[in-house]
Structure 1
Amino acid sequence: MFNNYQDIFFAVVGDVHGYIYTMIDLLQQWENSSNQQLAFILQVGDFEPHRHEADLATMDAPTKYRKLADFPDFYEQRAIFPWPIWFIGGNHEPYGFLDQFNTGTEITHNCYYLGRVGSLVLAGLKVVGVSGIYQEEKFHFDRPKVSQISSYSNKDYIIFTEAEIIQALGYKSTDILLLHDWPANIINPVDAEEFEQQCRSRCYYDLVGNEYAKMLVYELKPKLVVCSHLHKIYRNKISLTSGNLTDIFCLANVQSGADAIAIFHLSKTGKVTEFTQRKIESRR
């Protein structure tokens, strides 16, 4: 689809939780206010592409949060995505559906699942994504097969495994790394108080994230790392062993408004920079 670096804009979106029309509205506001067009969208988990009630039954979430929301309109093509979108899985997904496609697939027109671990090239940028969150007690074991999901807890399907981290490390290098769970040690100590005050649940800055996501950052050496999960916006730069800097973007959920999206410009030289001149309203 894309082979060489192109002079384009693209967006990355945080947790959607099924509110696809809200996501589209936020992105179209940016296009209208900036007089620019987006080439593609990347999304970092908790997309929640539930087709029907049977999909909801395979999602790990309290009953009050199990809602079909907007995706059936897009799956049945009563509505279409205005841009191609690629997403990874979070911890609130219909894995009974998605785990039929561990290596990824187009699940409806213009909407692509990257799989448990996936890679692709867009506009000359190599993108790697890892679905799920870290849980220490399950990390070293294989997940049950999706055909057995009714015999297991849905919680057994929301994690990434050691084998998947090894698979992701095999890509060796990348430009953009998509994660749902935060890497460890990405919060600057000077931001600790602000972070802990704004975090939606009690948390300590130095305990946030996991070492395996951090390992991917340092081994794959991406220009850009994007994650979500905590519904909190955060920006930082970290220095890699190569001496290069990696931009860290943690995004909120789409119901928070503009904090859920980040817009980037890709130059023909391959430089990726955030485009901050935007006017987007918060829609709650």
Structure 2
Amino acid sequence: MEKPQLRIAIEGCCHGELNNIFKEVSRLHQQNPIDLLIILGDFQSLRSTADFCSISIPPKYQKLGDFHNYYNNDTWGPPVPTLFIGGNHESMRHLMLLPHGGYASKDIYYLGYSNMIWFKGVRIGSLSGIWKQWDLERSRTEWSQLERNRSWQKNVRSLYHVRKSDVIPLFMVREDVDLMLSHDWPNGVVYYGNMQQLLKYKPFFKQDIDKRELGSPISWQLLRELKPKWWLSAHLHVKFEALIKHTKRTLNLSDDADVRKNNDEIALNLSSDSEEDVPSTFQPENKDEIVLDLSSEEDTKQVQKPKKKKKINAAKETKFLSLDKCLPRRKYLEVINVEADTSHPSWQNAQMYWDPEFVHNLQYMEKNKGIMKDTPLEQMNWNHIIRESGFYDRDIDWSLYTVPNYTPGIQRRENEQTKLFIDRFLT
């Protein structure tokens, strides 16, 4: 018996054109109902002209766009529930108030710096921003400092860049992911699609392709680790499809799997899978990684008998899709079909849920933030960290993880939304 499928509309770069996007989605929705719309960045959630100071757009090209109407009017909403991630042209004065995500307007939900949520039986992971290596290990300047010093323009480009704290909880995920969202491309996908056709449209990509620099290496590594059914991106303003076939991934991730390793031991493989699925032009990861020992001394004194093992049944292949920006005659919107897990509570009540495993990873990261901050990302051994973190409680009270329904005006109380998440999970 076939599993039910969701029809999900995917849109590339928004650039403030919400009205046009919603008009097209509404047209398609009337022909054949759509369950969800996902916008892959450059959303430009400008609430007023006061937000121009915190967006990376030259003054002569700045325009308010459509979002402010939805933000300021509680009755304005999209034709279907809408999720979006951040890109490299965002109103950070707004989005930084929602680091863990939240409602940006009625039925439009921002996913924060990174996230994992459930919607109608589909598990959706996300990573906002773009890759710039020099900012990966740095902390973002705080919103209050930027506002107080009026230093948004000076810092705004850096604020878009992916940080280590954004990707750690994603690398710790070990259960299956249906959709993974990022703004820029994983830098290995170009070798799995029609590269020659891509170069006909974008010949200036050739230099970056030859140097293996078209996209994000951290997202490519995530793709190989998570092996989602779909990876969806935007950023490069072109439609591109690829199919990445994976080697089998089955890890022994029992919570007490083996004797804890010596602090000085060197682990030789950052990735859990073999190198067979790496394109010949892609460089393997740093081999000088170290094992993080985040256990107490008492924990290391004895080895318990193995308990139940957790196997990862990740997809055998990942479909990659990137779309253009919203302009006439551009390929900026596509509807995909995604199988739903009918056993998940979100299928029954059509509500959105925070993902317990991802929340568990955030909690573990918060508990060990000192050593996480001091250890370079390339030196982290994910298998070991996953074992150290233990399994989250699978006897789940799903009411705790239910994302509250939209209430009028909640989008203008960003701090209240963030406080709710932190109070519930991170204090």
Which TM bucket (shorter chain)? Answer: 0.7 to 0.9
CA distance in 1 between counterparts of 2:114 and 2:49 reads 26
- The alpha-carbon distance between structure 1 residues 60 and 45, as it changes in their structure 2 partners (threshold 3 A), is same
Aligned ranges for residues 238-249 of structure 1 at < 5 Å? 238-242=244-248, 244-249=316-321
Q: Which moved more, 1:176-185 or 1:22-31?
A: 22-31
Match of 1:169 among 165, 168, 171: 171
Q: What SS class does the counterpart of residue 331 from structure 2 fall into?
A: helix
CA distance in 2 between counterparts of 1:74 and 1:114 reads 17
Matched, 1:191 2:222: no
Match of 2:136 among 136, 139, 143: 139
Q: Which residue number in structure 2 is paired with residue 116 of structure 1?
A: 113
Match of 1:260 among 318, 332, 335: 332
CA distance in 2 between counterparts of 1:148 and 1:269 reads 44
CA distance in 2 between counterparts of 1:227 and 1:66 reads 24
Q: How far 1:228 moved relative to its partner?
A: 0.1
Match of 1:49 among 45, 49, 74: 45
Q: What SS class does the counterpart of residue 49 from structure 1 fall into?
A: coil
CA RMSD of aligned residues (A): 2.0
Q: How far 1:61 moved relative to its partner?
A: 1.9
- The alpha-carbon distance between structure 1 residues 241 and 267, as it changes in their structure 2 partners (threshold 3 A), is closer
CA distance in 2 between counterparts of 1:202 and 1:241 reads 29
Question: Is residue 122–residue 339 contact of structure 2 (8 Å, CA) maintained in 1?
Answer: no
Q: Which residue number in structure 2 is paired with residue 273 of structure 1?
A: none
- The alpha-carbon distance between structure 1 residues 254 and 171, as it changes in their structure 2 partners (threshold 3 A), is same
Q: Which residue number in structure 1 is paired with residue 61 of structure 2?
A: 65
Q: How far 1:201 moved relative to its partner?
A: 5.0
Q: Which residue number in structure 2 is paired with residue 85 of structure 1?
A: 82
Q: What SS class does the counterpart of residue 54 from structure 1 fall into?
A: helix
CA distance in 2 between counterparts of 1:260 and 1:17 reads 12
Q: Which residue number in structure 1 is paired with residue 231 of structure 2?
A: 225
Q: How far 1:239 moved relative to its partner?
A: 1.3
- The alpha-carbon distance between structure 1 residues 160 and 265, as it changes in their structure 2 partners (threshold 3 A), is same
CA distance in 1 between counterparts of 2:139 and 2:127 reads 15
Q: How far 1:136 moved relative to its partner?
A: 1.4
Q: What SS class does the counterpart of residue 38 from structure 1 fall into?
A: coil
- The alpha-carbon distance between structure 1 residues 200 and 231, as it changes in their structure 2 partners (threshold 3 A), is farther
Question: Is residue 205–residue 214 contact of structure 2 (8 Å, CA) maintained in 1?
Answer: no
Report Cα offsets for 1:122-172 as digits up to 9, x if no partner: 121110110000011111111111222233421121111122111221233
Question: Is residue 135–residue 159 contact of structure 1 (8 Å, CA) maintained in 2?
Answer: yes
Q: Which has the larger radius of gyration?
A: 2
- The alpha-carbon distance between structure 1 residues 85 and 154, as it changes in their structure 2 partners (threshold 3 A), is same
Q: How far 1:202 moved relative to its partner?
A: 4.7
Higher strand share: 1
- The alpha-carbon distance between structure 1 residues 51 and 269, as it changes in their structure 2 partners (threshold 3 A), is closer
Q: Which residue number in structure 1 is paired with residue 99 of structure 2?
A: 102
Q: How far 1:200 moved relative to its partner?
A: 8.0
Match of 1:76 among 72, 83, 91: 72
Q: Which residue number in structure 1 is paired with residue 156 of structure 2?
A: 154
Match of 1:180 among 180, 183, 188: 183
Higher helix share: 2
- The alpha-carbon distance between structure 1 residues 18 and 268, as it changes in their structure 2 partners (threshold 3 A), is closer
Q: Which moved more, 1:250-259 or 1:191-200?
A: 191-200
Q: How far 1:82 moved relative to its partner?
A: 1.4
Identity of aligned residues (%): 23
CA distance in 2 between counterparts of 1:246 and 1:267 reads 14
Question: Is residue 12–residue 40 contact of structure 2 (8 Å, CA) maintained in 1?
Answer: yes
Q: How far 1:221 moved relative to its partner?
A: 1.3
Figure out how many residues of one structure are paired with residues of the other and give that number.
264
CA distance in 1 between counterparts of 2:196 and 2:337 reads 32
Q: How far 1:264 moved relative to its partner?
A: 1.5
Q: What SS class does the counterpart of residue 96 from structure 1 fall into?
A: helix
Q: How far 1:191 moved relative to its partner?
A: 2.9
Q: Which moved more, 1:219-228 or 1:59-68?
A: 59-68
Q: Which residue number in structure 2 is paired with residue 17 of structure 1?
A: 15
